Copies of this chain bind each other. A is one copy, B any other.
Amino acid sequence: MASEREKFQKADLTRQKILDVSLTLFQKQGYERATMRAIAQAAGLAPGAAYYHFETKEHIIFDFYQRSFNDHLPGVEKVLSTEKDLKRRLAGVVRMHMEVAKPYHEISKVLFQTAINPDHPLSPFSKESGPLREKNIDIFRRVVEESSTPVPEKLRGKLPEILWLFKMGIILYWIYDKSPDQRKTFRFIEESSALIAKLVALSRLPGIQGFSERILAMFHKYKTF
């Protein structure tokens, strides 16, 4: 008789298999057009078996996002334990995400068409994306809090969310990036992280302080997540 552990491993392999064939199918047909039935068939499963693992197509993609998140964690931990400087911590964790995403540039373009719909669960701003979004924001909390770069008190609380939004902007840029291996995106991460760190430092100057507090207030007032 199969042990609990063996059963779990088998289920995980099946989930991985479903994920793999789904991505291929989404690439070919687009996300909206591919059906759960077609996914099950491509994975060599009865439709019921596919639904047992994933209630909906969205669940498959959330699993994909979660796996990508898990895959980038070792790199993130390394950056957070070795880098103290805000610029390098920020650039490091964003770079780790994009490194893991590299093999998925084409499929990301496809999924993006759906995720960009503000009413869709796959939107990064949706209620359904909330748990993974929070885990991501927590990483930026650590980027800020354990950094050697002094961050003004008033900025400290909101900065993690702003930096997460910055990462969303980087992903948008990456989707549009047509340079070989999206090398432009990686350079952009370095330069824009340096710029943000500089902006955080500048925000302590008396002439700038009021300005930076105004940006924070606006961010809080108009954010959509």
Contacts and interface: CB of A to CB of B under 8 A. Distances in A.
Interface of A: 109, 112-113, 116-119, 125, 173, 175-178, 184, 188, 191-192, 195, 198-199, 202, 205, 207-208, 211, 214-215, 218, 222, 224
A195 B222 contact: no
**How would you classify the secondary structure of chain A's contact residues: helix, strand, loop or mixed?**
helix
A221 to B, nearest CB: 8
Copies, count: 2
A176 B211 contact: no
A207 B202 CA distance: 9
A99 to B, nearest CB: 19
Contact of A116 (B113, B184, B199): B113
A20 to B, nearest CB: 24
A177 B118 CA distance: 9
A212 to B, nearest CB: 11
A195 B175 contact: no
Contacts of A207: 202, 205, 207
Contacts of A119: 109
